[in-house]
Amino acid sequence: MNPRTTIATIVIILLALWAGTFHNQLSARHISTIRTALNPFLEWYYVALVAFLLFFMVWLGIGRFKNVRLGGDDERPEFTFFSWVAMLFAAGTGVGILFWAVAQPILQFQENPFIGSGMSPEAATVAMRLTYFHWGLNGWAIFAFVALSMAYFSFRHNLPLTVRSALYPFFGERVRGPLGDIVDTLAVFGTIFGIATTLGLGVQQMNSGLQQVFGLDASVRLQLSITAIIMAIATASVVSGVRRGVRILSEMNFWLSIAMVSFILLFGPTQYLIGLILESTGDYLQNILAMTFHTNVTRGDQWQAQWTVFFWGWWIAWSPFVGMFIARISRGRTFREFVAGVLLVPTLITIVWIGLFGGTALHHEQFGAGGIVAAVEQDIASALFVTIEAMNLGVFSTMASMAMVLLICTYLITSANAGTLVINTILSGGDTEPPTAHRILWGAVLALLTSVLLVAGGLETLQSTVIAAALPFSLIIVLMIGGLLRALNHERFAARKGLRTEAPREPWIDLDDAGQKSTWRRTSARSLRKRRLSRERLPSHAHKTESGEEKTM
């Protein structure tokens, strides 16, 4: 393990545990104060950053670099497409959409700045549009960029699978020293608090489900017990590795998710749900550009800070964790395959999931007996289970609620074990198979931190924590954008029959190595007669030309 990064991370976690355990109310107030002070800045900064990342990823997927492969030119994907999608979705937003699939549409249905009055048919469509926006293409663009950057530098240029590697074009070998340690520490910081926040939300929702099904009281003690059990199972899973524990659990909850979607579609208001999904999806696609650049600057309400700032902060805080995990399972895929898979497939699944569960709640509130709005206002974590109970299917509702409790549990486990693996990978300098003892240690640390956040406060404290944790890493993302652009500027064209395998160049340029090495160049224009080339070389990467000869790039 990298001693400097590990020690710095442990110190930060110990301080957080100490503050949350002995000064929990004071900590909650300070976190809330920090969030309030940052909101005016984040309302436009996060909007600009996320908008750029969305367009940047689309360009990478369809532009001149679409055939560049995350690995050797002849390398093939490590996992099948189904396993790949199941793992990236389970580790990405599985827990989040379980919590918000009903709660967010119901809350937006009551009030949002884009409607005249709440609780109307128009408000239902807008509520679905806003929920899709916060869980759709924009958020997945953040995950996709961080994942592609790490995978590109690691698998194509043989650098360690860590965040610091994405800054190699700027700083060269200095990324292996203290500068790189700071970058990785910020990545671990955002990862740990992002995972702990999501685990806290999931545990609260699971507690509500157990209360609904088995009549257990909602209490912090029960939530701490749930946290301990989940983290124990997650740690055992991550010890077994990605190919066994993580993959099997991801595929299991993927199939269970399909079963629950089928249940809602068959036993819910089917015609209404299909129509609402189609209409709200069209509304989302029609308004995505305006929503992407919306900063709420002309309004005086707190909607932007409470929703968009929180969700963009949540995605950014999770991006080193999910990004590294997606990178780990995406070796061998081209930019085009990667962008299409990471952006489109999870977004489509999310639209269907939220459309069915959120649409069922909206239908019941508008045309049924109602009561879901009141239940959400009382306990936001109970929204999903109240909706299932409102379907009034007797024993089938009870069975569905039990299945949802199990699904939440499996998603929490997959998120926790993937997060534990990522934390260890960063701290071990990119080793994708970190020592077992360290996996167990960091599983216990995540359990402790989640427990402290649950004790310290409710949903607002968790939201404020993730926003504060995301800001430092967002600055690293800005540097990563520049590093990737600088590297791709000298990327040869991907080998494909009938196309060039190298970018065009003048024959008298760089004669000493005849284009044999991948370089970044900065040319001084002081004199046309003297050209000064400064170079920062990446590790060599061997590939085969069309003639079969092995070439070093």
CB atoms < 10 A from the CB of 79, how many? Answer: 19
At 546, list the tokens: 């069309």
> CA-CA distance, 41 to 471, in Å (whole number)?
11
> CA-CA distance, 352 to 344, in Å (whole number)?
12
Query: Do 121 and 227 contact (CB within 8 A), yes or no?
Result: no
Query: Do 494 and 334 contact (CB within 8 A), yes or no?
Result: yes
Global pTM reads: 0.82
Instruction: Name the burial class of residue 218, with classes exposed (0-12), middle (13-18) and buried (19+) by CB atoms within 10 angstroms of its CB.
Output: middle
Q: What is the pLDDT along the chain (553 residues), one digit of tens a residue?
A: 788 888 888 888 888 778 777 777 777 788 778 888 888 899 999 999 999 999 999 999 998 889 888 988 888 888 888 778 777 766 556 677 888 899 999 999 998 888 877 788 889 999 999 999 999 999 999 999 999 999 999 999 888 888 899 999 988 888 888 888 888 888 887 778 777 877 888 888 888 888 878 888 878 888 889 988 888 888 777 676 555 656 677 677 778 888 999 999 999 999 999 999 999 999 999 999 999 999 988 877 789 988 999 899 889 988 888 888 888 889 889 999 999 999 998 899 889 999 999 999 999 999 988 889 988 888 888 888 999 999 988 889 889 999 998 888 888 887 787 778 788 888 887 776 777 788 788 888 888 888 887 876 655 666 677 777 788 889 999 999 999 999 998 776 544 444 444 544 443 344 444 444 444 433 333 433 343 333 344 454 444 444 444 444 4
Q: Whose structure tokens read 């090495």? A: 517
**H/E element holding 200?**
helix 178-214
Please tell me the predicted confidence (pLDDT) of residue 280: 94
Kindly write down the DSSP assignment for every residue of 295-346, as one continuous string.
--TT--SSHHIIIIIHHHHHHHHHHHHHHHHHHHT-TT-BHHHHHIIIIIHH
157: closest CA among 169, 146, 147? 169
Kindly write down the DSSP assignment for every residue of 173-192, as one continuous string.
GGGGSHHHHHHHHHHHHHHH
> CA-CA distance, 445 to 16, in Å (whole number)?
11
Query: Do 226 and 208 contact (CB within 8 A), yes or no?
Result: no
- Helices (H) and strands (E) counted in the chain, each on its own, are 20, 4
Instruction: Name the burial class of residue 111, with classes exposed (0-12), middle (13-18) and buried (19+) by CB atoms within 10 angstroms of its CB.
Output: middle
At 538, list the tokens: 């990446």
**H/E element holding 242?**
none
> CA-CA distance, 194 to 323, in Å (whole number)?
13
> CA-CA distance, 423 to 2, in Å (whole number)?
12
Angle, vertex CA 82, rays to CA 446 and CA 317, nearest 5? 30
Q: Whose structure tokens read 């497409």? A: 81
> CA-CA distance, 190 to 466, in Å (whole number)?
8
296 torsion bin: left (phi>0), alpha (psi -120 to 50), beta (else): left
3-state secondary structure at position 458: coil
> CA-CA distance, 282 to 275, in Å (whole number)?
11
Query: Do 146 and 338 contact (CB within 8 A), yes or no?
Result: no
108: closest CA among 283, 369, 267? 283
